[in-house]
Amino acid sequence: MITLTVNGTEHSFDGDPEMPLLWYLRDELGLTGTKFGCGIAQCGACTIHLDGYPTFACITPISIAEGSDVRTIEGLAENGDHPVQVAWRDLNVSQCGYCQAGQIMQAAALVDTTPDLTDEDIDVVMSANLCRCGTYPRIRAAIKQAAQARTE
């Protein structure tokens, strides 16, 4: 039996411990905000937080999450008002939107853990998340706005 906390609620899972965490979140819990893109750790669409660290759910067996705190886009902020989400809306970052939950989760971990962000910090970390629509300039601007909001 695997027990884990997802967005503040404890769950147990009695199935295949090798099943990707992404399948569990989407298919068992119905948390479809986290997307399946490549399935091989190349695109970042499936980024969630595992004990606060951005993690690709597509290549993470559910057994790794035993006893851990998992957070998905649905649980990032109670009212959708994490500074990254606010900045995303202010700057109309999303285009098709498919990559954006993963982008936001990656960006939120960065903003939450690094007080003074340089352009290089942003580019290095966010290079893990691909956007086929090319929203990168707005993503970078929104992260800067969110980082600024964190220091105010």
**Binding positions for ligand FES, 11-30, rule CB under 6 A:** none
* Dihedral, CA of residue 61, residue 63, residue 64 and residue 70, to nearest 10: 90
Q: Is 133 in the site for ligand FES (CB under 6 A)?
A: yes
Among the listed residues 3, 42, 127, 148, the single contact to ligand FES using CB under 6 A: 42
Using rule CB under 6 A, residue 6 touches ligand FES: no
Least gap, CB of 97 to ligand FES (angstroms): 5
The answer to the question of residue 135 lying near ligand FES (CB under 6 A) is yes
Determine how many CB atoms are found less than 10 A away from the CB of residue 128. 16
Report if residue 98 touches ligand FES, rule: CB under 6 A: yes
Using CB under 6 A, count the residues that bind ligand FES. Answer: 23
Name the helix (H) or strand (E) containing 23: helix 21-23
The β-bridge partners of 70 are 6, 50
Q: Which residues of 51-72 are buried (b: 16+ CB within 10 A; e: fewer)?
A: eeebbbbbbbebeebeebbbbb
Which residues bind to ligand FES, rule: CB under 6 A?
Answer: 36-39, 41-46, 56, 58, 94-100, 131-133, 135
